[in-house]
């Protein structure tokens, strides 16, 4: 009778290729998945220097502003300084020291401490400089302008899913957007900022997201809705919000108690930005109803000129094989009743824009309902579904996009641009004297963009999103 050792040795000798493959899969480092980080490298460990510095929404950004950042865990106090921005470098003489709160989070990159300070009692429409504290050091000084306390023009940038290979591919989009609209005061993210495919061990993806946005995130207020990829499956029960979300993107704190980390609104110079959590709505009837009730209340008490709603899963899907009828059943009637103007969504990895009049026919821009938009900023690309032309007036496959949206008291001026800065879609929404709206389609007369990967696309997919991992140095010129 052979020993167990001999049996195992024999098994290994016969099945060596399969054993090595299995070992490689089981032992492959999490670093490097969906990112540019090579195996064995840890570029995103927290340290003495503050990083991931980001401005996020508050209910009243005319007088308050939230900033969050990360250090290593040894920095136990959260300090920031803020001053009205002057032309002298002597900001330290006029700066006020503000103490905030923090919490720790242990990830693949080690234990970090996540800090938040909310600057209060600010003057409206005023340029401020601020910096945040690390371990015996500071960040650089950043500038931001508070919102006006009255209705006034401003510009927002809106991004669909970044999600995959974020540093490789989303960087180009957010930097082109910033170059196009450098005075934008709001950035809207419609979910799936990262992929989170490896459970807790996806912190490199957040490192890349903050690398891509860099100082832009520290100067412009971010309004972000979570997508399905910011939720993590459990062994049983509903998906749970990943722990990075509330520390990197703290909500404004005015949502329903059950969804305080993801549902909120911000009033910015005559625009009410509302953020909903469609992942929670689609996985729980209770969370769907809670948001519907909160939405009704929030829209009932809305003195702003315009209303923009952001969430992840589209009301009218653009991509093949996707549909979210429960959102149409429970949210769309509220959008219609309260005359929501713009709905900014993600998830479908295509572009689609349509007014969705009651008939469902496209091309009938009569201002009857909200304008629904689906967009994508990252590299994962899907195919347009057969029914999309029935609900959308402009469509695209295989195109990284950003949207620049200008709000004035009388008009919304919307432009979707490709990553190379080309105008791909445009429309205006005007408020008429009688309170009704007029929509003017201004899309350029260019062909609808289609998937350019006919050989490799499979089913609903055009590009998988991780093509940067293919490294072929044999064909260098």
Task: Write out the residues near Fe ion by the rule CB under 5 A.
Answer: 192, 227-228, 347
Closest CB to Fe ion among residues 192, 393: 192
Q: How far is the CB of 100 from Fe ion (least distance, A)?
A: 32
Instruction: Give the C-alpha separation, 304 to 267, whole Å.
Output: 8
**Closest CB to Fe ion: residue number:** 347
Q: How far is the CB of 193 from Fe ion (least distance, A)?
A: 10
Cβ neighbours of 315 (radius 10 Å)? 21
Closest CB to Fe ion among residues 129, 165: 165
Closest CB to Fe ion among residues 345, 362: 345
Q: How far is the CB of 341 from Fe ion (least distance, A)?
A: 24
Q: How far is the CB of 362 from Fe ion (least distance, A)?
A: 24
CA dist 143 → 131, 312, 390, 421 (Å): 9, 30, 45, 26
Closest CB to Fe ion among residues 114, 380: 380
Q: How far is the CB of 437 from Fe ion (least distance, A)?
A: 30
Cβ neighbours of 433 (radius 10 Å)? 6
Q: Of 224, 157, 191, 186, which is closest to residue 403 (Cα–Cα)?
A: 157
Instruction: Give the C-alpha separation, 263 to 257, whole Å.
Output: 9
In 3-state terms the chain splits into helix, strand, coil percentages (rounded to 5) of 25, 30, 45
Closest CB to Fe ion among residues 73, 282: 282
| CB-based contact 374:161 (threshold 8 Å) | no
Q: How far is the CB of 290 from Fe ion (least distance, A)?
A: 21
Closest CB to Fe ion among residues 160, 354: 160
Closest CB to Fe ion among residues 147, 318: 318
By three-state DSSP, how is residue 154 classified? strand
Instruction: Give the C-alpha separation, 8 to 440, whole Å.
Output: 73
- Kindly give, in sequence order, each residue whose CB lies less than 8 Å from that of residue 344, ignoring residues fewer than 6 positions away: 158, 188, 190, 308, 309, 310, 373, 375, 403
Instruction: Give the C-alpha separation, 160 to 373, whole Å.
Output: 9
Q: Is 24 exposed, middle or buried (0-12, 13-18, 19+ CB in 10 A)?
A: exposed
Closest CB to Fe ion among residues 210, 311: 311
Q: How far is the CB of 44 from Fe ion (least distance, A)?
A: 23
Q: How far is the CB of 229 from Fe ion (least distance, A)?
A: 6
């Amino acid at each position: 009778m052979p020993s167990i050792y001999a049996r195992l040795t024999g098994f290994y000798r016969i099945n060596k290729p399969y054993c090595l493959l299995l070992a490689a899969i089981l032992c492959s480092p999490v670093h490097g998945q969906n990112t540019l980080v090579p195996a064995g490298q840890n570029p995103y460990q927290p340290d003495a220097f503050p990083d991931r510095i980001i401005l996020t929404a508050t209910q009243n950004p005319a007088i308050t502003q939230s900033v969050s950042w990360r250090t290593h865990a040894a920095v136990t106090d959260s300090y920031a300084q803020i001053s009205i921005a002057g032309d002298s470098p002597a900001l330290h003489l006029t700066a006020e020291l503000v103490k905030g709160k923090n919490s720790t989070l242990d990830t693949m990159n080690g234990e970090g401490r996540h800090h938040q300070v909310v600057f209060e009692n600010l003057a409206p429409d005023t340029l401020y400089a601020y910096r945040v504290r690390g371990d015996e050091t500071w960040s650089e000084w950043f500038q931001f302008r508070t919102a006006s306390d009255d209705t006034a023009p401003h510009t927002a940038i809106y991004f669909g899913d970044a999600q995959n290979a974020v540093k490789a591919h989303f960087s180009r989009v957010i930097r082109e957007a910033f170059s196009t609209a450098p005075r934008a005061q709001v950035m809207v993210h419609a979910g799936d900022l990262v992929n989170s495919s490896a459970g807790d061990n996806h912190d490199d993806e957040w490192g890349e997201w903050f690398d891509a946005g860099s100082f832009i995130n520290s100067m412009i207020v971010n309004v972000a809705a979570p997508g399905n990829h910011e939720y993590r499956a459990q062994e049983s029960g509903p998906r749970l919000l990943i722990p990075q979300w509330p520390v990197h993107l703290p909500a404004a704190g005015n949502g329903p108690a059950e969804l305080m980390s993801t549902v909120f609104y911000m009033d910015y110079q005559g625009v009410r930005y509302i953020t909903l959590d469609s992942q929670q709505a689609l996985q729980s009837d209770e969370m769907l109803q809670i948001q519907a009730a909160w939405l009704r209340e929030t829209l009932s008490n809305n003195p702003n000129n315009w209303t923009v709603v952001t969430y992840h899963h589209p009301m009218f899907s653009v991509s093949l094989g996707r549909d979210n009828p429960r959102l149409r059943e429970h949210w769309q009637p509220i959008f219609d009743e309260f005359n929501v103007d713009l709905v900014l969504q993600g998830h479908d990895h295509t572009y689609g824009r349509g007014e969705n009049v009651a008939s469902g026919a496209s091309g009938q821009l009569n201002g009857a309902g909200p304008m629904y938009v689906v967009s994508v900023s990252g590299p994962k690309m899907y195919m347009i579904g057969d029914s999309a032309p029935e609900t959308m007036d402009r469509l695209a496959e295989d195109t990284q996009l950003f949207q620049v949206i200008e709000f004035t008291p009388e008009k919304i001026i919307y432009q979707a641009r490709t990553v190379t800065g080309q105008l791909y879609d445009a429309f205006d929404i005007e408020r008429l004297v009688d309170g009704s709206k007029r929509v003017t389609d201004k899309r350029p007369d260019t062909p609808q963009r289609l998937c350019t990967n006919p050989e490799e696309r499979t089913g609903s997919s055009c590009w998988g999103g991780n093509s940067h991992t293919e490294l072929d140095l044999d064909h260098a010129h």
